């Protein structure tokens, strides 16, 4: 094998590919490059609200569930930073997302295979290797690992208005919008919407905050034991083997095991609304519109008019807004740089066919694989976009690349 050809090149350094880098680090002789377009690591910086917490156990870090002895665990981070005892005494009900971000940055600083400021803009395959190009260099590798994350979903009526006063929640802190005296509408009844509503409602600045959701109510996440069983290797392997139509039915039914709202956040919002109404004598500042969808947007910056329809017989309502925050979720999209290989990937019903080892079926040589991190919810189930099986999935991919069971999974 040509000495310039690496064993693998991984694109995107979020938690998924960072987990791969951490587990690959002790594997002698394995040569991989991890490329990230951002200048440094930051975990969803637009939503890194100071009060936000992880929705999963701290054991679901980059490595622990596969290798509890790894030096890249969350506990190693706490110990290395001298805060283990204080962390225990603080007894947080859940890890602060800001602290998990510190942990991820700490790991990023210890892995030499990571390169930041490297935006991959094209990839092709020839002479037995993938050739990836960034503005500065070309990287050649036997396998490719896609870990580019999900893309924000923006519903059609809002698209012409995207800008400083209508934007996706993933940009919330980056845009740091002025809310003083403004009528704010948050669209979307999932966790991100809830976190933004809580954040705004805790302050007095916004004139009003209206939360609109298609869901029948503001529904909690199911965090019960049998729901959590869906986030285990045994379950996802069984799920992966099911027929496609059965999978899509299950995905719909299992949605609220991850897409519901953290109970603590719901309680906080409810109490803030109670405070506004009965203690601050400001009833109606917080308004909740469940079972409603925004079907049209009129007006423009400074005075948007949102047409809101419920599933009931009532006439549509018109909601005035100065600022609209779209907490309307994320979806997987094959990154643009994959365009040269797109037609060579196998799809079933429009969806990528993703195998037992998370490699995408394609018409290239079997010894060159394209692995997919966090892009196969349709094939692997509700756990795929979540932190829960990050370490396990990385271990499966590593074992497949190595052709041996380096990590028992």
Give the footprint of ligand FAD on this chain (CB under 6 A).
Answer: 11-17, 35-38, 44, 47, 54-56, 119-120, 147-149, 192, 335, 337, 373-374, 385-388
Query: Any idea how long the chain is?
Result: 409
Please state, in angstroms and as integers, the Cα–Cα distance from residue 127 to each residue in 11, 141, 407, following that order: 20, 11, 30
User: For residues 148 and 257, which CB has a smaller minimum distance to ligand FAD in the complex?
Assistant: 148
C-alpha 165: how far from its chain's center?
23
User: For residues 64 and 386, which CB has a smaller minimum distance to ligand FAD in the complex?
Assistant: 386
| SS3 category, 230 | helix
User: For residues 144 and 308, which CB has a smaller minimum distance to ligand FAD in the complex?
Assistant: 144
For residue 269, what is the enclosing H or E element?
helix 263-274
Residue 44: CB minimum distance to ligand FAD, A: 4
> In 97-186, which ranges are continuous DSSP H helix?
97-108, 172-175
Residue 136: CB minimum distance to ligand FAD, A: 12
Residue 273: CB minimum distance to ligand FAD, A: 23
Report d(CA 105, CA 124) in Å as an integer.
Answer: 31
The answer to whether 320 and 183 have CB atoms below 8 angstroms apart is yes
Residue 345: CB minimum distance to ligand FAD, A: 17
User: For residues 63 and 319, which CB has a smaller minimum distance to ligand FAD in the complex?
Assistant: 63
Inter-helix orientation angle 15-24/390-402, to 10°: 50
- 343, 352, 104, 336 alpha-carbon torsion, rounded to 10°: 30
Residue 47: CB minimum distance to ligand FAD, A: 4
Query: In a 10 Å sphere around its CB, with 0-12 CB exposed, 13-18 middle and 19+ buried, how is residue 374 labelled?
Result: buried
Query: In a 10 Å sphere around its CB, with 0-12 CB exposed, 13-18 middle and 19+ buried, how is residue 236 labelled?
Result: buried
DSSP secondary structure string, 76-87?
HHHHHTT-HHHH
For residue 46, give the nearest of 112, 97, 6, 7 by alpha carbon: 97
Report d(CA 128, CA 369) in Å as an integer.
Answer: 11
User: For residues 303 and 336, which CB has a smaller minimum distance to ligand FAD in the complex?
Assistant: 336
User: For residues 190 and 304, which CB has a smaller minimum distance to ligand FAD in the complex?
Assistant: 190
Residue 338: CB minimum distance to ligand FAD, A: 9
Kind of pairing, strands 323-326 and 166-168? Answer: parallel
The answer to whether 50 and 98 have CB atoms below 8 angstroms apart is yes
Residue 284: CB minimum distance to ligand FAD, A: 29
Residue 20: CB minimum distance to ligand FAD, A: 9
User: For residues 149 and 188, which CB has a smaller minimum distance to ligand FAD in the complex?
Assistant: 149
Residue 218: CB minimum distance to ligand FAD, A: 18
User: For residues 100 and 407, which CB has a smaller minimum distance to ligand FAD in the complex?
Assistant: 100
User: For residues 13 and 306, which CB has a smaller minimum distance to ligand FAD in the complex?
Assistant: 13
């Amino acid at each position: 094998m040509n000495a310039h050809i690496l064993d693998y090149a991984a694109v995107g350094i979020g938690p998924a590919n960072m987990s791969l880098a951490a587990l690959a680090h002790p594997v002698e002789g394995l040569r991989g490059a991890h490329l990230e377009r951002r200048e440094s690591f930051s975990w969803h910086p637009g939503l890194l609200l100071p009060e936000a917490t992880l929705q999963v156990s701290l054991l679901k870090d980059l490595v622990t569930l596969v290798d509890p002895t790894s030096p890249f665990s969350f506990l190693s981070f706490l110990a290395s930073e001298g805060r283990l005892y204080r962390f225990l005494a603080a007894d947080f009900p859940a890890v602060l997302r800001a602290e998990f971000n510190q942990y991820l940055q700490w790991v990023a600083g210890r892995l030499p295979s990571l390169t930041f400021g490297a935006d991959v803009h094209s990839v092709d395959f020839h002479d037995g290797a993938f050739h990836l190009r960034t503005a500065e260099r070309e990287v050649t590798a036997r396998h490719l690992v896609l870990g580019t994350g999900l893309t924000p979903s923006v519903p059609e009526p809002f698209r012409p208005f995207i800008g400083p006063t209508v934007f996706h929640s993933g940009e919330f802190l980056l845009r740091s919008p002025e809310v003083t005296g403004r009528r704010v509408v948050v669209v979307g009844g999932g966790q991100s919407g809830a976190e933004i509503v809580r954040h705004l409602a805790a302050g007095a600045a916004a004139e009003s905050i209206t939360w609109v959701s298609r869901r029948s109510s503001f529904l909690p996440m199911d965090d019960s034991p049998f729901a959590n069983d869906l986030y285990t290797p045994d379950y996802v392997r069984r799920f992966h083997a099911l027929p496609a139509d059965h999978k899509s039915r299950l995905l719909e039914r299992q949605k609220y095991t991850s897409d519901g709202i953290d109970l603590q956040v719901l309680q906080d919002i409810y109490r803030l609304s109670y405070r506004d109404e009965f203690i601050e004598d400001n009833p109606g500042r917080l308004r909740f519109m469940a079972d409603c969808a925004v079907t049209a947007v009129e007006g423009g910056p400074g005075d948007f008019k949102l047409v809101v329809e419920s599933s009931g017989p009532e006439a549509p309502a018109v909601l005035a807004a100065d600022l609209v925050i779209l907490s309307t979720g994320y979806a997987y999209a094959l990154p643009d740089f994959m365009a040269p290989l797109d037609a060579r990937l196998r799809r079933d019903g429009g969806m990528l066919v993703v195998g037992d080892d998370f490699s995408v079926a394609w018409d290239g040589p079997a010894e060159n694989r394209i692995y997919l991190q966090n892009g196969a919810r349709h094939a692997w189930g509700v756990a795929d976009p979540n932190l829960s099986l990050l370490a396990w999935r990385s271990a499966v991919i590593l074992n497949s690349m190595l052709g041996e069971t380096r990590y028992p999974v």
